[in-house]
Amino acid sequence: MESATILILKEIKEYIEFLRNHMISTGAEFGFHHERTIKASQELDYVIYKYQVIQRRILA
């Protein structure tokens, strides 16, 4: 695995952690059924999905 790929995966993992914290704080402020929280959750889900796709391609 190239070091550039490892760096990209590391950056995505950091972004995932940022999005997770953002979703939690949004939920705490507005409620977990609020549109903003749901949107934050959907963005987090999408980035996690993309991360998994990249991981599968690297391991294949």
Q: Per residue in 4-39, pLDDT tens?
A: 788 899 999 999 999 999 999 999 999 999 999 999
Mean pLDDT of 45-49: 98
CA 8 – CA 53 distance, rounded (Å): 13
Cβ-Cβ contacts under 8 Å for 55 (sequence gap 6 or more): 9
| 32-41 confidence digits (pLDDT tens) | 999 999 999 9
Q: Is the pTM of this model over 0.85?
A: yes
